[in-house]
Structure 1
Amino acid sequence: MKTILVTATEDSTGKTAVALALAKLAAERGQSVGYMKPKGTRLQSNVGKTLDEDPMLARELLDLDAEMHELEPVVYSPTFVEQAIRGREDPDELREGVRESFEALAADKDLMIVEGGGKLTTGGIVGLTDPEVADLLDAEVLLLSEYGQAGDVDDVLAAADDVGDRLLGVLFNAVPDASFDDLDTEVVPFLEGRDVPVLGVVPREQELAGVTVAALAEELSAERLTDAPADAFVERFLVGAMSGDSALRHLRRTKDAALITGGDRPDLQRVALEAPGVKCLILTGGFRPPGAVVGKAEEKGVPILLVQSDTLTTVERAEDVVRSGRTRDAETVEIMRDLLYDHADVAGILGDAEADGAERAGDPGSDEETDATDE
């Protein structure tokens, strides 16, 4: 059996989409695939329990019959972290629980996909960083990273050093078009010269990088004050706490953004409507804007969303929505599956799990089977 742990240099780098897309690709190759996320970090309340949404999606998409406590043995909540710091969690017991859950899930599987929680170092409080989990479960590590500038290579090298010999390779995800040439001609050869294999460069796909205004309105329970189309994508937020002149200079330099400001700031709202990169206005505090602002927004085709919450709460919630994006639904996993098929070394990542499993089990015919496969 082969085990791949999908981790990342930073949070929100596409681990869930990549992990589940790899599982789907492996299943298409005829492999029996299992999944687990040892540390539940993307938590929500569900029927009186705090659960991670990612294992729930995996169970649905991969048709798994495992229980949630097996798929997610450690609920890595803020309360859990506080208790661990106070010495009220036993790291050895937690590690044993993770190992037992893994063994139960891995029975009769050709491939196990293990999704890391948060970033590479999450879990250090209880000895369950992703490199430590990889050692515990005898997993190879697929390291995800985004790339926007040369300095990002520092993080990749540091993470690769942490992972050590278990590193399967690096997969660059959500790479902007402007960065492709540098990555391909300079960064990839540099890393491979440092014995850090690069297994794919996946381009940035807008549908995975942001959310539509319509989806944002739904997530924020916002009232839409205009009939403007809401299919534009939002990737970032600007908080309106500046003068109109300063705001205009700043807004003109941004793109695919939403302005979040109080409904009682019509001066800022008017300025934002003149900036082509502002895709919508999110007005907080339940304050309705003047009719002239609404009319201008209709004319410009810019949606206005009205929420009852204060600006800080709205910013936190909106950023969480965009960070999560659409990486937790079947359609997004299918998009990522196609991206990996086209832009990653899928065969190099997945390998021949059945042959590998036979070899690790000490099957006397495993060497011959592997040689035949290589030929």
Structure 2
Amino acid sequence: MGVLLVSAHLSGSGKTSLVAALLTQLLAEGRRVAYYKPFSTSPDNDPDISFISETILAGTDGPPVPTPLALPRNGSNGPLLPEEQSQTIRQCLSEIQSTAGVVLIEGPDAVSPDGEPWSLPIDLTDLLACPALLIFPYANGLDFQTVLSAAESFSPGLSGLVINGVTSYRQRDVERGSLAQLRAAGATVFGAIPEDRVMLGVTVQQISEQLGGRWIQDPVNTDACIDRFLLGGNIMDAGHTYYGRYANQAVIVRAERPDIQMASLMEDTKCLVLTGGSEPSDYVKAEALEKDVPLISVTESTLSTAEALAGVLERATPYSRTKVERFGQLMRQNLDMEALSAVLTTSS
């Protein structure tokens, strides 16, 4: 019976994505799994718990996810883990452990919400006497000593490290540099996951909210993941050559250009953003309806609309089945899954 606590150095490091991908893989292998997030900044409406419960674990025979405790404040008087809360956490884990073969615990980050290091994830690991995995976000100039210090703070409970979001042109340097140095220093490193366009994508709904757009028809596939925007214009290439290059694309085009809109709808376009405020032709509406492609209308020009999307990536979240599947692929391609599986099998 395996228990693994997954912690991250910082918020946004990919902790939820890793947990969701591991749960998905274990379920595919026929394992009975459980998920537990002991602390939350919003215990009554935690988005991580909602996503895991309603999307990843829906329809499985595992135990329900326990209600989390409120995340304590760093620097407050008294211990971060008082005895009463410690007993509650131990009891919750014991209850779900009794009916699951593997329990994945999404622990707090090593850096508190106020930006200061704290001992809560380490205290939690010690309390539950389970191994921990630390996921560390990649940044340009990442110093292996910084990663090593963070890893050593979990010792001896740390089972291994994962570096996430390594840019493609730095992947080899990280493998030969930081990861080799960490391993030479005695740290267990499961591997480094590269940055990926799908993981940075946003949904059609988030695009509409960013632009303040209007649905031209009843919205469909609003949770489709968009990882690329194309501008519809007077291009020299054939429509299938230009619009058929990418999956998961949204096309920004003037509402008065049905020729461009129809060309893009013939390919793998997930959304049309129609600029200028005019109504598209009935032909475009009918084709979009048949292909389940949502149409968003905005009053601004095409250029202004493209500029307004500059900050849309800030809306990106991990709460997408597409992203979980993609992260699972990246995980299997880049991590030592045999070593990670051994931790899940032998931990208790």
> Normalised by the shorter chain, which TM-score bucket?
0.5 to 0.7
Report if aligned partners of 1:171, 1:200 keep a CA contact under 8 Å in 2: yes
- Please state if 1:53 is matched with 2:31: no
Equivalent residue runs for 1:13-28 within 5 Å: 13-28=13-28
Equivalent residue runs for 1:1-375 within 5 Å: 1-41=1-41, 43=42, 50-60=44-54, 61-63=56-58, 66-67=63-64, 70=66, 72-76=67-71, 81=73, 85=76, 91-117=82-108, 119-122=109-112, 129-211=120-202, 214-220=204-210, 222-223=212-213, 233=228, 297-298=301-302, 300=303, 302-303=305-306, 305=308, 322=313, 325-351=316-342, 353=344, 356=346
Identity %: 21
* Structure richer in helix, relative to its length: 1
Q: Secondary structure at the match of 2:87?
A: helix
RMSD of Structure 2 on Structure 1 (CA): 3.6
Displacement after TM superposition at 1:323 (Å) = 5.2
Q: Distance in 2 between matches of 1:14 and 1:140?
A: 19
Distance 1:194 1:56, change over 3 A: same
Q: Distance in 1 between matches of 2:81 and 2:189?
A: 37
Distance 1:346 1:324, change over 3 A: farther
Report if aligned partners of 2:143, 2:178 keep a CA contact under 8 Å in 1: no
Q: Distance in 2 between matches of 1:305 and 1:29?
A: 44
Report if aligned partners of 2:211, 2:308 keep a CA contact under 8 Å in 1: no
TM-score by length of 1: 0.61
Displacement after TM superposition at 1:123 (Å) = 8.9
Report if aligned partners of 1:147, 1:173 keep a CA contact under 8 Å in 2: yes
Displacement after TM superposition at 1:326 (Å) = 3.5
Distance 1:349 1:57, change over 3 A: same
Displacement after TM superposition at 1:217 (Å) = 3.2
Query: Which residue identity does 2:195 align to in structure 1?
Result: R
Distance 1:88 1:114, change over 3 A: closer
Report if aligned partners of 1:50, 1:75 keep a CA contact under 8 Å in 2: no
Displacement after TM superposition at 1:139 (Å) = 1.6
Q: Secondary structure at the match of 1:5?
A: strand
Distance 1:37 1:185, change over 3 A: same
Distance 1:301 1:51, change over 3 A: closer
Query: Which residue identity does 1:100 align to in structure 2?
Result: Q
Displacement after TM superposition at 1:11 (Å) = 0.9
Q: Secondary structure at the match of 1:51?
A: coil
Displacement after TM superposition at 1:170 (Å) = 0.9
1:262-304 deviation per Cα after TM superposition (whole angstroms, max 9, x unaligned)? xxxxxxxxxxxxxxxxxx9xxxxxxxxxxxxx77x42x48436
Q: Distance in 1 between matches of 2:81 and 2:19?
A: 29
Report if aligned partners of 1:27, 1:33 keep a CA contact under 8 Å in 2: yes
Displacement after TM superposition at 1:50 (Å) = 2.8
Gaps of 5+ in 2: 216-224, 230-272, 274-298
Report if aligned partners of 1:5, 1:139 keep a CA contact under 8 Å in 2: yes
Report if aligned partners of 1:144, 1:173 keep a CA contact under 8 Å in 2: yes
Query: Which residue identity does 2:306 align to in structure 1?
Result: P
Displacement after TM superposition at 1:211 (Å) = 2.6
Distance 1:201 1:151, change over 3 A: closer
1:208-234 deviation per Cα after TM superposition (whole angstroms, max 9, x unaligned)? 12436x443334472379xxxx95659
Q: Distance in 2 between matches of 1:30 and 1:331?
A: 21
Query: Which residue identity does 2:51 align to in structure 1?
Result: L
Q: Distance in 2 between matches of 1:169 and 1:85?
A: 30
Distance 1:148 1:50, change over 3 A: same
Query: Which residue identity does 2:53 align to in structure 1?
Result: R
Q: Distance in 1 between matches of 2:342 and 2:193?
A: 19
Gaps of 5+ in 1: 44-48, 235-279, 281-293, 307-314, 361-375
Query: Which residue identity does 1:140 align to in structure 2?
Result: P
Q: Secondary structure at the match of 1:26?
A: helix
Q: Distance in 1 between matches of 2:126 and 2:190?
A: 21
